[in-house]
Amino acid sequence: MDDRKTKKTGRPDLWSSALAFYAQPGIAPLCLRRQAEGGTDVMLLIAHCHALARQDAPLTATELDALRDHMAEWRGRTVLPLRALRVDLREPVAHLPEAEREALRGRLKQVELAAEKVQAGMIAEWFAARIPARNGDFAQGLRILAGTAALPDADIALLHRAATA
């Protein structure tokens, strides 16, 4: 897929690649677990895997920081608050029927995904200007993304296989 191809937004399309990567066996549960346990930015994790797959150059620690900074305001103002509200609504709400609560959670999930799609566009823009540094270490980058949460070698191997499939 040509990641420089643009859609109506004028941004390069990374979303399709992200969805295809996420749909590979074992990737969605791994990403959701990393997000829940360590607060991993799944779109940033996908971007790191994309850099290996499409540019044969995983992101360096400096690039991970730069890309994180590039998206920080959007993520902080939209993605994270939407996710927090959706997750909070897993619990019953007094005087609100469960069906209505679940319907609202479903709508929030769609809006959250739309916000992540915008984030994918921001990543693609950043990649369009990137001159890959050939000294990135895939496993090290994943460990940086994991933060304080341990990242098992099996998870690194699964992400590497999926990125290079």
Per the document, the length of the chain is: 165
The pTM for the full model equals: 0.84
Q: How do residues 30-70 score in pLDDT, each as one tens digit? A: 999 999 888 899 999 999 999 998 888 899 999 999 999 99
> 3-state class of 6 per DSSP?
strand
41 backbone dihedrals φ, ψ, rounded to 5°: -80, 105
**Is the distance from CB of 45 to CB of 52 less than 8 angstroms?**
no
Q: How do residues 103-127 score in pLDDT, each as one tens digit? A: 999 999 999 999 999 999 999 999 9
Percent of the chain with pLDDT over 90: 72
